[in-house]
Amino acid sequence: MPGFLTPDELTAARADMLKYFPTPQELAATPNRYGWIFDDPEHLQIEFPFAADALNHNSTHPEIISFVERLLGTREILLSQSAIWAKYAGTGSFEQTMHLDYEGNTLVVPRDDGPFRQVNLILYYSDVTPEMGPTGVVPQTQTQDAGVWPPFRPRKKYPDLYKNERPILANAGSLLIFSMRTFHRAGEITAEQGARFTHHLVYRSSLCPFNGYHQYSQFGEKPEMRQFIQRATPRQREMVGFPAPRHRYWNEHTLAEVAARYPKMDMSPYRTAAGLSAPSPSRRGLG
C-alpha cells in the first residue's frame, strides 16, 4: 500500500526511530560510538513497547486494526509482535534464505482463512530501492503445491522459488501486507551508504491461543508499557490484551485500582460502560 502513512505520521515515526538508531551520516562520522552496530548488524531490532509515541501508535494504527478485523472476520484480534529494525549499508551481509515466518508464531502450521489467519505487515520508514535490500516475495500462485514444511528453503535445493521471487520496492510511508504462507527473504544491501528503517508487525485472532509470538502482560513492569497504556485509546489497549470497556472484568474495585496503577489514564470509557459514575477523591484507589 503506497502512502499508507500520512506525511506527519511518517515524519514522527522517523524522528522516533532516531531515538534508537543513528542516521547513516552519524554512523559514518563516528563509527566508534556505535560499535554495537558492527558487532551484530543483522539483528538491530527493538521490540514494542517503545519510549516513543509515534512508534507505539503505528503498532496499533487504527487503519491496521480495521483492516485486520475485516480480514479475519472478527473484532477479537491482538497485536502479536511489533519490532523496529535498522540495517546499515557497509556493515554486514543481509541476504536471507527463502523462508516462512510461522515457526516462531504458532505451534502448528498456518491457515489463511478466517480467525486462523495471522497477518504480517512491514511499515517502511525509509525508501527501499534495489540497492537497499528489498524484501523478495514469491506469489502464492507459484507455491500452492509447495507445502509449508520445512519453513526454510535454500537456493540450491529450491531454485524455482528464487526464480519466481519479486522485489518489493517501496517509498517511505508504504505498507506491505503478507501471509504466514508467503515465502519471502531479505535481499542484500549493495549501496555504499544508507540505512533501511522498517517496522515489522504481526496480528492474530485471540480465538486461537496456539498462535502468537508475545503475551504483552510480560512487559507490564516496563515504563514504556505504562506510557503506552496511559496514552492509547481503549481499542488500542485491547490490541495488547487490555480488557475492553464492556468486559465483565470491570467493577468498582478494579476500576479504582487500575486508575491508581495508571493515574494519567482516562478511565471514563470503562466507568461509563460499567454504568458507574466517577469516584469521589476519597475513594479513588481503594482496595
H/E segment holding residue 209: none
Return the CATH fold of 7-217.
Answer: Jelly Rolls (2.60.120)
Query: How would you list the strands of the sheet with 44-47, edge to edge?
Result: 44-47, 77-88, 195-205, 119-124, 175-179
Query: What are the sequence ranges of the domains in the chain?
Result: 7-217
Condensed to tens digits (0 to 9), the pLDDT of residues 268-283 reads: 999 999 988 766 554 4
What's residue 281's pLDDT? Answer: 55
3-state secondary structure of 249: coil
What's residue 74's pLDDT? Answer: 97
Residue 224 C-alpha from the chain's centroid: 15
Under a CB-based contact definition with an 8 Å cutoff, are residues 279 and 256 in contact?
Answer: yes
- Give the integer Cα–Cα distance in Å for 93 and 142: 28
Predicted TM-score (pTM) of the model is: 0.94
Looking at every residue in the chain, the average pLDDT score rounds to 95
Condensed to tens digits (0 to 9), the pLDDT of residues 94-150 reads: 999 999 999 999 999 999 999 999 999 999 999 999 999 999 999 999 999 999 999
Bridge partners of 135? Answer: 168, 186
3-state secondary structure of 110: coil
Condensed to tens digits (0 to 9), the pLDDT of residues 44-70 reads: 999 999 999 999 999 999 999 999 999
Which DSSP category does 148 fall into?
A: S
